[in-house]
Structure 1
Amino acid sequence: MRSYLILAMCGLYLIQYFVELTWLRYVVVALALIAFVGSAPKADPLPRLLGFFMMGLGIVLEMGKGTGVEGISDGLFLILPLLCLITLAPLLSIPLRFGGYFEAVALLLKKLMQQPKKLYAGITGTLFLLSPVLNLGSVRIINEFLDELKLPSMMSAKSYLVGFTTAIFWSPYFASVSLVLHYLHVPFTQYIGYGMVLSFLSLLIGNVLFALWQKRNPMVVESTQSHLLDNKIRNQLIRLVFFVVLLMGSCLLIELATHWSMIVIVCLISVLVPAAFAVLPRNWEKMRPLLIDYRDRTVPLMNNEMMLFMSAGMLAFAIKGTALAEGVNSVLTGFAKESFFLFALAVIAIVLVLTYMGIHQIAVVGALAMQLQPAELGITSISLALLLLLTWAMSTALSPFSGLNLMVSRFAGISGVQVGLRANGMHMSLVAIVGVTIISFIS
């Protein structure tokens, strides 16, 4: 029943985007609140605690500003696009599973078992390709493929985080890109080139650092058999690349033609692509179990995301216009007038400290995106977007409270601090230095 409630919320939001009916807006907000409360009992203890804390604080701040129910409604409605995104985007995994692409990826990685550097490049490269579409599901899938290998903990921690965080810089299917570009009013078509550059550089730096680390820590991953890639598997991998490129290209073309919100475009594509597969001859019966699994397992398991995303979005909206936000804005504006590097360092420090304390990236980065004005800072909107997404990627990798860090620490069998600072501290530091330097030239 809760799955239908959440899916109804997403469907009605998409309708509201085009028809703009006031009463429908309130209906969607009400459904979102019901979904939030309904997710609490089945959410993990930490996300539940943080969710209620951030939601409660956001409501108190809105009441303190005198906006009352209207302000709370606005705050919840502002985060609804992201809730729709995280709910509907997993639908894209259905055509990938149906097409046998995951099996081709598994065989590719098994072929590289005896060559750690190539295996690392294969893992990070696969995550680079799949994460923009599948989000955290890509890490789960790769870990399932490699679970039998018993990779060293540090190799798992390094490869999973390096490969996954590349998508945070540019994927329209990620909350990071969608949120920041949405709040800063930056068209995705203008931004994607810059985001891709940072993404490729992060991937390159990660692989170079692993090669150096592997020299100091020689390792052999044993394989009991040889896996050769036949033409069928190669063709599947080529089709997988084409599928991802086609999805991203479609997003760009639709935005150019319609000027719709990129989040709405991504949600529509996430629904229409599986629907197109389902109507093809003889596909429906094979896809039906996957769709049922999505309804009965994937959507209900989004309890943590519902708690964190909705509450963090509410808090980010509530912080805007407060004395604290104005004070932070004034200080950061002063730094920006003195030096862009000083401003960038301050932004990175604020985000890392707060997310390390357990505040979700959406609340921190979202509040900064809504509060900071590029014109006052003397930089372009794209430069600010790049900086905020850089800090988002850093905090996702380093904070022991982030969903990615928690997942990887469980897979690797080490603490979140070891996964973040020890395994990936150097990588994220170098990415930050390179990224800030590049952003300074285009600001």
Structure 2
Amino acid sequence: MRSNFILGMCLLFLIQYFVHFQSFQYILAIMATIAFLGSVTLAKKVPRFFSVFMFAAGLALNYTKGQGIGAAAEGITANLSLLTLLVLVPLLSIPLKMGGFFESILLYLKRYQNHPRKMFMGISTVLFFLGPLLNIGAIRILDELIKGLRLKPTFLSKAYLIGFSTTILWSPYYAAVGVTLLYLHVSVKDYMSYGFGIAVLFLLIGNFMFGIWAKKQNFDVEGDYREVITPDHRKRIKILAYMILSIMVVTIATESITHWSMLVIVSLLSILFPGIWGLFSKQWGSLKHHLVDYRDKAVPIMNNEIIMYISAGFFSQSLKGTVFGQGINVFMTHLAQKSFLLFALFILITMVCVTFVGIHQLVVVSVLATQMDPAMLGTSKEIIAMVIMMAWSASSVLSPVNPINLLVSTLVKKSSIGVGLKDNGAYLLIVCMLGIMILDLLNYL
């Protein structure tokens, strides 16, 4: 029942995006409030605390500014596009599960069992391209596939986090990119030239650094598998590559032609893609099973995300026009005009420190991005977005309470501090400094 309610709210948002009925926005605000209240008791303690605080602060600020119900409704629904994306994107993984693509990926990885560098490149590259469609689930699925290869924990923590952290930098299907581009009003087409290019560079650097580390460690991978890759498996890999490329091209082309919100386009594609797959594969029974599984298992566990996205959107919208909001704007403008390097380091260090103690990156981005004026900062919206995404990516790896870090530490059976700081700290330091230097150079061109 609760899952149906959340899915209904997402579908109503998509309808409202095109028909623009004011009454729909009030209905959505009521539904979002109900979803928030229904999820808050089921969420974890830290997200619950900050979400309740932000929602209450949003109400207080809205009342203090003397704004009416319309402004409150607009604030409560501010992040519904992001929440819709978050809820619907897992649907993209259904055709991949039905098509047997994961088994073919495993066979290809097994070929490199005694070649650590090639295995590392294979795992990190798979996450780089599957992460946009499967989100954090890509790590869990890949871990299940290669469990029998008995790879060492440090090897896996490096491969998983380097591969997935680069996905965070560029994927329009990842909520981090979505929220940043939404607040800064940046199109995916304009951002991708920065995001994808730097993400590929970081992936190559990660693989290069692993090669140096593996050579020093005299690293070996255990196991002895010699499966033959059949033409059928080669065909599946080609189909998978075409699917991923086609989805990306369709997404960017649709945005360029229609000028719709990228978040809406991705959400619509998430609904259409499984249906198109079912139409061509004729596997309606299997599709129905996966859809029911998604409704009953994937949607109900999004409590933390539901309360964080609704409350952060409301809070950030309520901050606009306040003394605190104007103070943030003045401070960031002064810092950026003094030195772009200081500005970028401030965002990076702030994001890492705040997330390290359990506060979600969304809170920081909601507060900072909504109060910044790129023209006043003396840089472009795309460069600011890239700085924020590097900070988001680094903090996701380093924070011992971030879901990505926690998942990897659980899978490899190491401490969250160990997989983040010890195994990947040097990599993050190098790529972040290099990334800031590149953006600083681009800022002056």
TM over 0.5, yes or no? yes
Query: Equivalent residue for 1:109?
Result: 109
**Over residues 214-269 of structure 1, what are the superposed CA-to-partner deviations in whole Å (9 max), with x where a residue is unaligned?**
12223322114322322221221121111111001001110111000000000011
CA contact (8 A) 1:158 1:419 kept: yes
Shift of 1:418: 1.8
Partner of 2:329: 329
Residue number in structure 1 paired with 2:421:
421
Kindly report which structure 2 residues correspond to 1:80-95, keeping only aligned pairs within 5 A, or say none: 80-95=80-95
Give the 3 Å change call, closer, same or farther, for CA 49–149 of structure 1 in structure 2: farther
Secondary structure (helix, strand or coil) at the match of 2:143 reads: helix
Counterpart of 1:75 in structure 2 is 75
Q: How far does the alpha carbon of each residue in 1:364-392 deviate from its partner, in whole angstroms, 9 at most, with x for none?
A: 11222111111101111111111111111
User: Is 318-327 or 397-406 further displaced after alignment?
Assistant: 318-327
Aligned to 2:261: 261
Report the Cα distance in structure 2 between the residues aligned to 1:281 and 1:221, rounded to whole angstroms. Answer: 38
The answer to whether the 8 A contact 1:316-1:362 is kept is no
Asked if the contact 1:135/1:174 (under 8 Å) is kept, the reply is yes
Q: What residue number does 1:174 align with?
A: 174
**What is the Cα deviation at residue 60 of structure 1?**
3.9
Q: Distance in 2 between matches of 1:430 and 1:169?
A: 16
Corresponding residue for residue 367 of structure 1: 367
Q: Which moved more, 1:377-386 or 1:316-325?
A: 316-325
Give the drift of 1:44.
3.6
Residue 301 of structure 2 aligns to a residue whose secondary structure is coil
Counterpart of 1:206 in structure 2 is 206
Contact 2:47 2:359 in 1 (8 A): no
Q: 1:47 to 1:408 in 2, by over 3 A?
A: farther
- Aligned equivalents of 1:406 and 1:37: distance in 2? 26
Counterpart-to-counterpart distance in 2, 1:58 and 1:422: 39
1:146-295 equivalences in 2 (<5 Å): 146-280=146-280, 282-295=282-295
Q: Could you say which residue in structure 2 is the equivalent of 1:312?
A: 312
Indicate how the Cα distance of structure 1 residues 79 and 282 shifts in structure 2: closer, same or farther if over 3 A, else same.
same
Q: Rate the CA distance shift 1:406–1:119 in 2: closer, same or farther, 3 A.
A: same
Change beyond 3 A, Cα 1:256–1:150: same
* TM-superposed deviation, 1:121: 0.8
> What SS is found at the alignment partner of 1:222?
coil
Describe the shift of the 1:239–1:376 C-alpha distance in structure 2 as closer, same or farther (beyond 3 A): same
**SS at 1:372's partner residue?**
coil
Identity of aligned residues (%): 40
| Distance of aligned partners of 1:336 and 1:45 in 2 relative to their CA distance in 1, 3 Å threshold | closer
Question: Structure 1 residues 295, 198: closer, same or farther in 2, change over 3 A?
Answer: same
TM-score (normalizing by structure 2): 0.94
Larger deviation, residues 143-152 vs 178-187: 143-152
For the 8 Å contact 2:92–2:273, the answer to whether it is kept is: yes
Q: 2:169·2:195 contact (CA, 8 Å) conserved in 1?
A: yes
Tell me the residue number matched to 1:134. Answer: 134
State the shift of 1:58 in Å. Answer: 3.9
Q: Secondary structure of 2:401's partner?
A: coil
Distance, in Å, in 1 between the alignment partners of 2:415 and 2:72 is 37
The code of the aligned residue for 1:166 comes to T
Describe the SS at the equivalent of 1:299.
Answer: helix
> 1:332–1:346: 8 Å Cα contact kept in structure 2?
no
1:371 counterpart SS class: coil
- The Cα shift of 1:69 comes to 4.7
Would the alpha carbon gap of residues 116 and 50 (structure 1) be closer, same or farther in structure 2, given more than 3 Å must change?
Answer: farther
Contact 1:313–1:362 (8 Å) recurs in 2: no
Between the aligned partners of 2:268 and 2:153, the Cα distance in structure 1 is 39
Structure 2: how far apart are the matches of 1:301 and 1:15? 25
- Residue type of the partner of 1:99? G
Give the conservation status (yes or no) of the 8 Å contact 2:110–2:225. no
Contact persistence 2:78–2:310 (CA under 8 A): no
| 1:134-181 Cα deviation digits (max 9, x unpaired) | 111111111111233343222222111111111212211111211111
Distance 1:395 1:66, change over 3 A: farther
In structure 2, how many angstroms separate the alpha carbons of the residues matched to 1:349 and 1:398? 12
Shift in Å, 1:103: 1.3
Amino acid at match of 1:310: I
The whole-number CA distance in structure 2 between the counterparts of 1:86 and 1:338 is: 37
| Gap change, CA 1:51 and 1:151, over 3 Å in 2 | farther
Mapped to 1, the partners of 2:406 and 2:22 lie a distance apart of 39
Gaps of 5+ in 1: none
Using the alignment, how far apart are the partners of 1:361 and 1:149 within structure 2?
Answer: 34
8 A Cα contact 1:79 1:309, kept in partner: yes
Residue type of the alignment partner of 1:134: L
2:379 corresponds in structure 1 to 379
Q: Do the aligned partners of 1:320 and 1:367 also contact (CA within 8 Å) in 2? A: no
1:202 & 1:61 partners in 2: Cα distance? 41
Question: In the aligned structure 2, how far is the partner of 1:148 from the partner of 1:70?
Answer: 56
CA distance in 2 between counterparts of 1:381 and 1:122 reads 34
- How far residue 71 of structure 1 moved from its aligned partner, in angstroms, is 4.1
Q: Alpha carbon RMSD of aligned pairs, Å?
A: 1.9
Deviates more, 1:343-352 or 1:127-136: 343-352
Name which of structure 1's ranges 113-122 and 214-223 shifts more when overlaid on structure 2: 214-223
- Output the TM-score relative to the length of structure 1: 0.95
What residue is the counterpart of 2:301 in the other structure?
301
Structure 1 residues 46 and 150, CA gap change in structure 2 (3 angstroms): farther
1:168/1:393 contact within 8 Å kept: yes
2:52 matched to 1:37?
no
Distance 1:399 1:68 in 2: 39
For residues 161 and 328 of structure 1, the distance between their equivalents in structure 2, rounded to whole angstroms, comes to 32
Contact 1:51 / 1:312 at 8 angstroms: preserved in 2?
yes
- Structure 1 distance, partners of 2:308, 2:203, is 28
| Cα distance in 1 for residues equivalent to 2:422 and 2:361 | 21
The Cα of 1:101 is off from its aligned counterpart by: 0.9
Unaligned segments of structure 2, at least 5 residues? none
Deviation at 1:197, TM superposition (A): 0.7
Which stretch shows the higher mean deviation, 196-205 or 302-311?
302-311
Contact 1:316 1:364 (8 Å CA) reproduced: no
